[in-house]
């Protein structure tokens, strides 16, 4: 079963030199050299789908135009060219032409894109989340501007499966977190407020070592991600707290690259960007369901054995309601800077309810 989580690793192709990724089009503008990359490995769905769907589907549709256009791709995943703290700048500066941008680590440059982190437990459906943010990033000028002013063009939203806790000790209630060290990257640390836990900064690429060395005792993370890094070997207690899915970033293209491409290719990339979101969401949830089956059937055979603890709706509500009004604080801080955070939060919550979501907490109604 675990072999499934490593299949995408073969997608990465080494790049021989860290040169500016886009060159002038050759052969009368008909051949374009583009580099796609990511700080994280292709074993993660939001990276792997770049190689398994976005690139081949763009190629297929470009060829179908029958205008003689071709794209020569280089692919560099798994931090070959840059790390998790440089996903936005590396695409913006042309180290790669197209890449996954981890918006949750870019709060200073993309403050409004953090809205779902400050309003958690709204939906556990990543496909729904991505549908909403594919729409909002096109229709809300303030969100679109967070990409364009950073020399980026948004292509397709990212979301993941519901957040759970992966720990070295059993977590049966929010009280069990008091005094514990919990890895929560970037602004995700705000979810620890009110629990008594100590938030430890980190990323999926560091969780295994952090837990192994005692720097952290648990990680608030995605099942689809932790399976690929074998975190259950050092954190065998899985608390299904289900704090919901979030919008955490997107596939984006360097704006200078974008402007050199013919309109037909731009249109194709926009269309396939939306498909990337859908394919990624399907892959995430397939991985998530397969992981849960593996935990139930095979997890007990590993050493140490995996223990899964299902939280009730009441226990989840207790955690969410222990948080201070982090959405209200986020709105106030950003409105003080002249940013329309209240409008973004209202649009997000309204779009979710229109699609049938039932938030655990009505963050927009507490403003």
Pairwise CA distance, residues 56 & 51, whole Å: 7
Stretch 80-91: mean pLDDT = 96
pLDDT band of residue 122 (cuts 50, 70, 90) is very high
Pairwise CA distance, residues 185 & 114, whole Å: 13
Taking the domain 2-107+126-158+248-288, which CATH number applies?
A: 3.40.190.170
Helix pair angle (263-297, 126-139), 10° resolution: 160
Token pair for 257: 């690259």
Q: Is the pLDDT of residue 230 over 80?
A: yes
pLDDT of residue 29: 54
pLDDT band of residue 228 (cuts 50, 70, 90) is confident
For the chain, domain boundaries: 2-107+126-158+248-288
pLDDT of residue 18: 40
> pLDDT digit string (tens) for 97-119?
999 999 988 999 999 999 999 99
- For residue 154, what are the β-bridge partners? 252
Closest CA to 226 of 213, 241, 239, 207: 207
Pairwise CA distance, residues 120 & 220, whole Å: 13
Query: Residue 33: helix, strand or coil by DSSP?
Result: strand
pLDDT of residue 204: 82
> pLDDT digit string (tens) for 245-301?
999 999 999 999 999 999 999 999 999 999 999 999 999 999 899 999 999 999 999
Q: Are 35 and 318 in contact (CB under 8 A)?
A: no
Task: Round the average pLDDT of the chain to a whole number and report it.
Answer: 91
Spatial neighbors of 304 by CB under 8 A, at least 6 apart, are: 236
Q: Is the pLDDT of residue 6 over 60?
A: no
> Looking at per-residue confidence, does 77 or 5 come out higher?
77
Stretch 185-198: mean pLDDT = 90
């Amino acid at each position: 079963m675990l072999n499934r989580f490593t299949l995408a690793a073969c997608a990465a192709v080494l790049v021989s030199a860290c040169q500016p990724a886009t060159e002038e089009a050759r052969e009368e503008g008909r051949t374009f050299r583009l580099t796609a990359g990511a700080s994280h490995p292709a074993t993660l769905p939001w990276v792997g789908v770049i190689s398994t769907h976005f690139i081949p589907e763009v190629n297929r549709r470009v060829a179908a135009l029958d205008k003689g256009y071709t794209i020569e791709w280089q692919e560099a995943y798994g931090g070959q060219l840059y790390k998790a703290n440089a996903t936005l700048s590396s695409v913006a500066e042309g180290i790669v032409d197209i890449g996954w941008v981890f918006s949750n680590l870019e709060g200073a440059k993309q403050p409004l894109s953090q809205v779902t982190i400050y309003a958690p437990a709204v939906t556990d459906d990543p496909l729904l989340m991505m549908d909403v943010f594919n729409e909002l990033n096109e229709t809300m000028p303030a969100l679109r501007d967070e990409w364009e002013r950073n020399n980026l063009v948004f292509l397709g939203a990212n979301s993941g499966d519901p957040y759970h806790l992966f720990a070295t000790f059993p977590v049966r209630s929010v009280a069990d977190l008091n005094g514990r060290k919990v890895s929560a990257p970037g602004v995700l640390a705000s979810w620890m407020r009110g629990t008594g836990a100590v938030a430890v900064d980190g990323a999926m690429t560091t969780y295994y070592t952090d837990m192994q060395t005692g720097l952290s005792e648990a990680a608030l993370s995605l099942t689809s991600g932790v399976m690929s890094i074998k975190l259950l070997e050092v954190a065998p207690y899985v608390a299904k707290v289900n704090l919901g899915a979030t919008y955490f970033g997107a596939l984006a293209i360097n704006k200078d690259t974008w402007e050199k491409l013919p309109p037909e290719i731009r249109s194709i990339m926009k269309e396939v960007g939306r498909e990337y979101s859908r394919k990624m969401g399907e892959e995430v949830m397939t991985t998530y369901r397969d992981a849960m089956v593996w935990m139930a059937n095979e997890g007990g055979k590993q050493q140490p054995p995996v223990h899964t603890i299902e939280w009730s709706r009441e226990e989840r509500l207790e955690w969410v309601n222990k948080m201070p009004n982090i959405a209200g604080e986020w709105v106030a801080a950003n409105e003080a800077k002249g940013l329309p955070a209240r409008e973004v939060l209202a649009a997000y919550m309204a779009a979710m309810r229109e699609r049938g979501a039932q938030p655990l907490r009505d963050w927009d109604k507490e403003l």
